[in-house]
């Protein structure tokens, strides 16, 4: 199997072979082997539900958490499982309390759901959300650092920043940003929804107060697997979104952090339990393991970006060092018509799937009618798929142009 051509890898995933799937970034895609492992766990759970949930689950969570912690460069004691990064962001900002006049800083490229959580906390407590304006196209990581630094003041209490932006696909220089903030005594919450599996992570070294990330995207675990990292000294203040039995548990053999987050009510825990399996499995697909996989995906998305920029007649909108496994490129303006879904349903996106069988997001950014096309690269993607997208975009954009004439 060739990682650059994608040859042979598609058979490992359960994706519809009739669709050109260039949107791994939105929800990930789970390999067949991991889905089979999940099915075995579900069968085990349903055969003896009480035994599984009451007697086995805690140890199984600990084992999966230990593998994830090693992968992330963190301590298992600092990690809790959550269903998605949005839940992780909400767990932090809804646990913290602010005072009138406090400032909460975020960039204008923050994921909308996470930004909404920050707005909610600010409105509840009378705090103020301050927006750092990050350019896109962008010439260098330093522009991002400068934009964030300019928004920090003595009143700033929390900085929320994406590690990888959802809309524009930028890998932000979070290590530099965290240093700027912590030097001023500001806590940092990193929304790392896309980072695990896309980028090498060492959370201990990174130094964020809080970090949340998805495991169902680039680690390719089943949907609904994510984590929340909370520095140990801040754990007493951070509570899960659902307050459950752990709130008044008399146990002293485990941390209150794990007692509360590990049981928030009945749910299917098998996505969490498959995280270690997914890390091990993806790490075997290339001779160089995870570093080789990340490098292959980056090389592939950069090549796809080159093809699309040529077709659109535009320069690359950011330097290669700010690319992981996503790349976004500006498109001619759309109609600005209201969208039916917060997950994007631009008319061009619908045309691409209906007429060309291509699934790729057309992102309204910074706001309609402005928009981007965002491509992803995973091992199963092929160079011909990006060429096919370039050809389809050329056709559909010309049709839009003629319709307006």
pTM above 0.85, yes or no: yes
75 in the same domain as 222: yes
How many whole angstroms separate alpha carbon 146 and alpha carbon 221? 35
Shared domain for 163 and 220, answered yes or no, is yes
**192/146 same-domain check:** yes
Question: What's the confidence (pLDDT) of residue 340?
Answer: 66
The predicted structure's pLDDT at residue 209: 98
184-228 pLDDT tens trace: 999 999 999 999 999 999 999 999 999 999 999 999 999 999 999
* Boundary-marking domain end, from 251, 281, 311: 281
Q: What is the average per-residue pLDDT within 297-304?
A: 98
What's the confidence (pLDDT) of residue 2? 72
Q: Same domain for 341 and 228?
A: no
Mean of pLDDT values over 139-166: 98
Closest alpha carbon to 323 in 25, 8, 3, 108:
25
Tell me: do 297 and 256 sit in the same domain.
no
CB 275 within 8 A of CB 64: yes
The pair of three-digit structure tokens given for residue 346, joined into one six-digit string = 């631009």
**314 and 254 share one domain:** no
Helix (H, G, I), strand (E, B) or coil at 312: helix
Number of domain units in the chain = 2
The helix (H) or strand (E) run that includes residue 176 is helix 174-182
Q: Please check whether residue 169 is in contact with residue 191, taking contact to mean a CB–CB distance below 8 angstroms.
A: no
Statement to judge: residues 198 and 60 lie in one domain:
yes
3-class DSSP state for residue 112? helix
Judge if 122 and 256 occupy the same domain: yes
First to last CA, the chain: 47
Q: Which of 93-97, 141-145, 210-214, 401-405 has the lowest mean pLDDT?
A: 401-405
Residues 58 and 199 in one domain: yes
Same domain, 269 and 299: no
Let me know the angle formed at the C-alpha of 365 by 181 and 94, rounded to the nearest 5 degrees.
Answer: 45
pLDDT in tens, 231-263: 999 999 999 999 999 999 999 999 999 999 999
The per-residue pLDDT for 339 is: 61
Alpha carbons 364 and 134: distance in angstroms, whole number: 16
CA–CA separation, 4 and 346 (whole Å): 30
Residues 354 and 307 in one domain: yes
Residue 167 domain flag: yes
Tokens describing residue 134: 């990050």
Query: What is the rounded average pLDDT of the residues 347-371?
Result: 95
The mean of the pLDDT values for the chain is: 96
Quick one: how far is CA 28 from the chain centroid? 9
The residue range of the domain holding 57 is: 34-281
């Amino acid at each position: 199997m060739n990682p650059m051509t994608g040859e042979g890898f598609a058979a490992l995933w359960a994706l519809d072979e009739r669709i050109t799937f260039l949107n791994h970034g939105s929800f990930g895609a789970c390999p067949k082997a991991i889905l089979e492992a999940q099915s075995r766990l579900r069968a085990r759970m349903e055969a003896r539900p009480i035994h599984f949930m009451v007697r086995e689950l805690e140890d199984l969570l600990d084992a999966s958490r230990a593998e994830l912690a090693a992968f992330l460069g963190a301590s298992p004691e600092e990690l809790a499982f959550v269903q998605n990064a949005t839940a992780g962001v909400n767990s932090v900002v809804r646990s913290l309390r602010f005072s009138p006049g406090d400032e909460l800083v975020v960039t204008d490229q923050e994921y909308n759901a996470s930004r909404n959580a920050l707005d909610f906390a600010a409105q509840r407590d009378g705090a103020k959300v301050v927006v750092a304006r990050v350019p896109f196209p962008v010439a260098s990581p330093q522009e991002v650092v400068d934009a964030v630094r300019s928004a920090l003041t003595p009143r700033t209490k929390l900085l929320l920043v994406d590690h990888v932006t959802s809309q524009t696909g930028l890998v932000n220089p979070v290590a530099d940003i965290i240093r700027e903030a912590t030097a001023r005594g500001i806590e940092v919450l990193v929304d790392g929804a896309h980072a695990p599996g896309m980028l090498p992570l060492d959370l201990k070294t990174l130094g964020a107060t809080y970090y949340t990330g998805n495991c169902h995207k680039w680690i390719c675990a089943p949907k609904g697997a994510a984590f929340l990292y909370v520095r140990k000294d801040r754990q007493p203040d951070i509570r899960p979104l659902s307050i459950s039995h752990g709130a008044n548990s008399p146990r002293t053999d485990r941390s209150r952090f794990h007692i509360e987050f590990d049981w928030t009510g009945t749910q299917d825990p098998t996505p969490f339990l498959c995280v270690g399996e997914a890390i091990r499995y993806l790490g075997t697909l290339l001779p160089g393991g995870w570093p080789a996989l990340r490098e292959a995906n980056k090389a592939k998305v950069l090549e796809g970006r080159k093809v699309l920029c040529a077709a659109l007649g535009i320069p690359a909108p950011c330097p290669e060092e700010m690319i992981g496994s996503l790349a976004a490129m500006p498109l001619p303006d759309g109609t600005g018509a209201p969208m039916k879904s917060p997950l994007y349903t631009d008319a061009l996106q619908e045309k691409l799937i209906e007429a060309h069988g291509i699934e790729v997001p057309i992102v309204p950014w910074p706001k309609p009618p402005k928009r981007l096309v965002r491509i992803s690269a995973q091992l199963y993607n092929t160079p011909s798929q990006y060429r096919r997208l370039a050809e389809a975009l050329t056709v559909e954009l010309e049709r839009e142009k003629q319709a307006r004439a």
